[in-house]
Amino acid sequence: MRYEDVICPFCGCLCDDLEVTVEGGHISEVKNACGISRSKFMNHGANRLMHPTVDGEKVSLERAVEEAVELLSKAERPLVYGLSSTECGAIAKAVEIAETAGGIIDNTSSVCHGPTILALQQVGESKASLGEIRNRADLVVFWGSNPTEAHIRHITRYSGMPRGMYVPEGRKGRKIIAVDVRETGSTKLADQFVKVRPGSDFELLQALRAIVRGRELPVEEVGGVPMQRIKELADQMKSARFGIVFFGLGLTQSEGRHMNIDAAVGLVAELNRHTKFVLTPMRGHYNVSGANTVTTWQTGYPYAVDFSRGYPRYNPGEFTSVDLLSRGEVDAALIVASDPASNFPVDAAANLAKVPVVTLEQKTTPTTMLSRVTIPVATAGVEAEGTAYRMDGVPLRLKKLVEPPEGVRPDEEVLDMILKGLKEAKR
């Protein structure tokens, strides 16, 4: 059986042109995939968790759910976290679980593009779909982003190489500028590499903004970039027909965090006095955008939402997972499609290890290794269908290609079982 137009559930590109061959219930071939995507499809069955466990002992799914319900219903400050690598139906159930438990719902954007959301809520954004960028953009800026490693087909599918309706020459019709603190595959591929001193992105963005506005700055360089070079950049940006800034964690995880994004939005707003310019965050996990979207539908807020007072309250810095854990505030956790024990700073991970954790996961991770309850689940986009949101906010339907291991269910079904048990326990 050969499936066409398969969507890759790895990164925020959600490439939708994969061809997957299934033979005897197993994936035998993947075409059009990048190396990471190929690894995901070909290894989805490798090293799987096969049975639910409680305290390391193999149990039935029903027993594991019962234990999860017990832990969450007795907790005073339960945290529901992860969600960016699963589909929207599961995310909706997770939000409802957090509400029912009177806990906190947070997703991995709090440690990736959370600062982006903070900034965009303050100053707005000028955005476009990847299709529009593919067809129109003649100047592409990657700022603090390395797509050759993290979004491998982005440049070939959407931003750099394709022949677009108004960019018929393809790569030759587009200028690519990479701004980074170090040389990467993306800076080598770009037409121009602007090396900025670490921790100086905010200053460089503000200097560019001032120059675009026509101001003179009485300095010789900003962030290690000579003023003459900054003026050239400003001229190139102003003279583009359609410009785009794709920015990554180089801005959100470095000194300044959300203020870096604020400055980037300010630069793009200033450029729109001269030409059409947009910006788009390079979202990492394939459905982190969906996690923000679904959580916003249901609570009004995209992440870091607390239900302890019976209604949703939003406060990144207080209700974000790393902050909650580092303060030792959480007394139970439900982790879905994420590995915070690997991805959080050691202090926060250590406090997670002190509380009972329920984890829904496909494979063994440091988080499953320290969990009281582990429940294996199907891989969305391979073993289960569902909806995911691309980095530009376009929803796409993931396909089910093969059956999950026997007895293993999708995240949404397991979360629904926990939710029903929790409602019963709270009654």
Partner 1 sequence: MDGIEVTLISGRTARQGMGLEEGKLSERYTQSVNTVYLNPEDASNLGLARGGLIKVSTVSGCVTVNWGGDAGLDRGMAFFPYGPWANQLYASTTDGTGMPQFKGITATVSAAEDSRVPTIQEIVESIRGGKRL
Binding site for partner 1 (CB under 8 A): 10-11, 34-36, 38-40, 43-44, 46-47, 110-111, 114-115, 118, 146, 148-150, 152, 181-184, 187, 195, 198-199, 249-250, 252-255, 257-258, 284, 303-304, 316-318, 320-323, 325-326, 339, 341-350, 352-354, 363-366, 369-370
Q: Alpha-carbon distance 281 to 389, whole Å?
A: 13
Place of tokens 């460089």: 204
Q: Alpha-carbon distance 90 to 378, whole Å?
A: 11
Strand 373-376 with 53-54, pairing: antiparallel
Tokens standing for residue 321: 């997972």
**Identity of the residue, 215 or 346, whose beta carbon is nearer to partner 1 in the bound complex:** 346
Encode 35-101 in three state secondary structure: HHHHHHHHCCCCCECCCCEECCEECCHHHHHHHHHHHHHHCCCEEEEECCCCCHHHHHHHHHHHHHH
**Identity of the residue, 55 or 424, whose beta carbon is nearer to partner 1 in the bound complex:** 55
CB of 420 to partner 1, least distance (A): 31
CB of 304 to partner 1, least distance (A): 6
Q: Which helix (H) or strand (E) holds 321?
A: helix 321-326
Q: Which residues contact 421 (CB under 8 A, 6 or more apart)?
A: 65, 66, 68, 69
Look up residue 418 and give its amino acid: I
Question: CB of 107 within 8 A of CB of 84?
Answer: yes
| 226-233, long-range: CB < 8 A, 24+ apart | 229/194, 230/204, 233/177, 233/194, 233/208
CB of 318 to partner 1, least distance (A): 8
Tokens standing for residue 35: 């190396």
CB of 332 to partner 1, least distance (A): 16
For the chain, state the CA radius of gyration: 23
CB of 375 to partner 1, least distance (A): 17
CB of 110 to partner 1, least distance (A): 4
**Identity of the residue, 10 or 158, whose beta carbon is nearer to partner 1 in the bound complex:** 10
CB of 216 to partner 1, least distance (A): 29
**Identity of the residue, 73 or 85, whose beta carbon is nearer to partner 1 in the bound complex:** 85
**Identity of the residue, 228 or 364, whose beta carbon is nearer to partner 1 in the bound complex:** 364
Displacement of CA 90 from its chain's centroid (Å): 16
Q: Alpha-carbon distance 382 to 7, whole Å?
A: 9
**Identity of the residue, 205 or 211, whose beta carbon is nearer to partner 1 in the bound complex:** 205
Q: Alpha-carbon distance 80 to 103, whole Å?
A: 7
CB of 323 to partner 1, least distance (A): 6
